């Protein structure tokens, strides 16, 4: 832990130098607890606030000169928003998916209708929902579980399950802990199962669907999941809403008694992200668009519980995604509470919506991140080989790397009923060789290199040929499989 804290302190100035972070202020009377953000096709930014309002504004270069206007109100903890047009939004609130429309062009929504509904509501504060567009007029909806820290009401909305009610985080009412598919007409169907609190869901430019989740019970550490229809993603409570699960069978008891069967049934994370060192509480993942000047095509994952955003380098191995993670931004004026991401219409800036929901020091609002120069000196590709890794830097290295410049260790995680799980089976992996493939790329061979482990890389303080210090020195690669 001392090493991790030292790394954070040393890396922050370098990370901050690459980006300018600005506060976008709301009017003083508006509680700035951001549930969701989205751009309309005309470039108008809409923000749904957890206290019930939807605000809109045309982005201004000066962060103090935004002209916010109230567009709609009355939503119950809205955490997902689709800005269909300048005059229409759809918002997922606790109980349903509601459409608000301005029909008389006065700038304020005057027509509200339920676009989709059908999931349950127990009365628990933790049961928030959010959305991702499918690109065809439909949506994927992430339906969160309830928490033991809040009650279940005497009268619930929807079907109730006594087995679903068990556990620290629970799914006592219909489709809690599931991802749903909503077609363009508002018809709902279950898509996949087994989430604790997937606070953000995203479809990338290739049609792949992604979500994170929060470390906790049945979540050893922060995961990034690639979602496929029908799969189970590890939190057992939601299995009561999978019609394939045997009626009358308690999923929590079943898998608490048989972790081997649990591991066989679940879909493992594409990337396991160390909780303390990298990302404590995942928000909404988002692909970096092709026109953004830094790391296009990679993934960003905001941390709701720290002042940082994780950068993820994915690849396919044997037909399945896995990859590496490091910091994109760590401090540098960024608040905590980060959980929603959108890129500006020209793809040159990042907007971050923030709320801590009472789980830490107040950090609410909207911030804008602008690259302040050329792409920083860092690792830009981290690819697995049968014997180790091929690592590519953004710039030519000052000198050839030696084995002492890279230190690897590896470990495993086992998700179970406890609140998070420690790193297990830790070993050091000796660097047997470093081979220069090009001015920017090296191939590293490791001893005791096996699949099913997370590999940690600690770099020495390297420099580019131009004399720039490397932005990050800590990386993690989830090696589910070897090529």
Report yes or no: 286 and 295 within 8 Å, Cβ to Cβ. no
Cα dist from 305 to 283, 334, 388, whole Å? 9, 12, 33
Give residue 10's pLDDT: 41
Q: Which residues contact 84 (CB under 8 A, 6 or more apart)?
A: 40, 90, 99
Domain coordinates of the chain in residue numbers?
19-371, 379-479
What's the CA gap between 402 and 292, in Å, rounded? Answer: 33
Distance (Å, whole) CA 92 – CA 462: 46
Taking alpha carbons only, the member of 67, 68, 66, 110 closest to residue 87 is 110
Q: Residue 379 in contact with residue 393, Cβ under 8 Å?
A: yes
Query: Which CATH fold would you assign to the domain 379-479?
Result: Immunoglobulin-like (2.60.40)
Extract the tokens encoding 228: 């496929």
Alpha-carbon distance of 283 to 299, in angstroms, equals: 12
In the predicted model, residues of the chain with pLDDT beneath 50 are: 1-13
Task: Report CA-CA distances (Å) from 80 to 16, 56, 257, 435.
Answer: 29, 15, 37, 47
Does the 19-371 domain belong in CATH 2.120.10.30? yes
Sheet holding 178-182, edge to edge: 129-133, 139-143, 178-182, 188-193
Q: Which of 77, 74, 46 is nearest to 59 (CA)?
A: 46
Could you tell me the pTM of the whole model? 0.95
Q: Which residues pair with 398 in a beta bridge?
A: none
Residue 14: per-residue pLDDT:
58
- What is the per-residue pLDDT for 2? 38
H or E element that contains 224: strand 222-227
List all residues 6 or more positions away from 2 whose beta carbon is below 8 Å from its beta carbon.
none
List of E strands, 25-157: 34-39, 45-49, 54-57, 69-72, 80-85, 88-92, 96-101, 111-117, 129-133, 139-143, 146-147
**pLDDT tens digits along 140-162:** 999 999 999 888 888 999 999 99
HSE of 469, CA atoms in CB hemisphere, 13 A: 13
pLDDT tens column, 395-450:
999 999 999 999 999 999 999 999 999 999 999 999 999 999 999 999 999 999 99
What gap in Å lies between CA 463 and CA 470, rounded to an integer?
A: 6
The pLDDT assigned to 374 comes to: 85
């Amino acid at each position: 832990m001392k090493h991790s804290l030292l790394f954070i302190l040393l890396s922050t100035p370098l990370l901050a130098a690459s980006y300018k972070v600005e506060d976008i202020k709301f009017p003083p009377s508006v509680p700035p607890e951001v549930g969701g953000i989205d751009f309309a096709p005309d470039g108008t930014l809409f923000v749904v606030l957890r206290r019930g309002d939807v605000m809109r504004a045309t982005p201004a270069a000066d962060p103090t000169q935004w002209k916010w206007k109230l567009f709609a109100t009355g939503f119950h903890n809205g955490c997902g928003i689709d800005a269909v047009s300048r005059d229409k939004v759809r918002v997922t609130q606790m109980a349903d998916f509601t459409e608000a429309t301005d029909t008389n062009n006065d700038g304020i929504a005057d027509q509200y209708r339920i676009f989709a509904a059908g999931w349950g509501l127990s009365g628990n504060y933790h049961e928030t929902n959010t959305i991702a567009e499918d690109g065809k007029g439909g949506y994927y909806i992430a339906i969160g579980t309830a928490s033991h820290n809040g009650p279940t009401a005497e009268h619930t909305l929807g079907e109730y399950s006594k087995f679903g009610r068990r556990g620290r985080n629970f799914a006592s009412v219909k489709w809690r802990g599931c991802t749903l598919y909503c077609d363009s007409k508002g018809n709902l169907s279950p898509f996949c199962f087994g989430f604790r609190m997937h606070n953000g869901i995203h479809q990338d430019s290739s049609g792949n669907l992604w979500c994170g989740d929060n470390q906790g019970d049945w979540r050893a550490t922060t995961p990034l999941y690639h979602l496929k229809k029908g799969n189970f993603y590890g939190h057992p409570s939601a299995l009561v809403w999978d019609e394939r699960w045997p009626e009358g069978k308690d999923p929590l008891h079943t898998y608490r008694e048989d972790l081997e069967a649990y591991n066989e049934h679940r879909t493992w994370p594409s990337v396991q992200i160390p909780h303390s060192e990298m990302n404590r509480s995942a928000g909404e993942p988002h692909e970096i668009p092709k026109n953004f000047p830094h790391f296009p095509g990679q993934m960003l994952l905001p941390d709701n519980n720290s002042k940082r955003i994780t950068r993820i380098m994915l690849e396919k191995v044997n037909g399945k995604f896995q990859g590496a993670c490091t910091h994109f931004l760590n401090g540098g004026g960024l608040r905590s509470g980060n959980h929603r991401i959108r890129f500006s219409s020209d793809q040159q800036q990042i907007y971050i919506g923030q709320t801590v929901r009472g789980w830490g020091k107040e950090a609410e609002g909207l911030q804008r991140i602008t690259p302040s120069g050329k792409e920083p000196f860092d690792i830009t590709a981290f690819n697995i080989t049968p014997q180790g890794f091929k690592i590519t830097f953004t710039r030519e290295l000052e000198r050839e790397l030696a084995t002492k410049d890279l230190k690897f260790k590896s470990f495993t995680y086992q998700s179970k009923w406890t609140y998070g799980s420690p790193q297990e089976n830790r070993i050091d992996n000796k660097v047997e060789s470093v081979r220069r493939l090009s001015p920017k790329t090296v191939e590293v061979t490791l001893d005791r290199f096996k699949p099913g482990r997370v590999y940690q890389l600690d770099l020495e303080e390297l420099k580019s040929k131009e004399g720039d210090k490397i932005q990050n020195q800590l990386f993690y690669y989830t090696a589910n499989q070897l090529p």
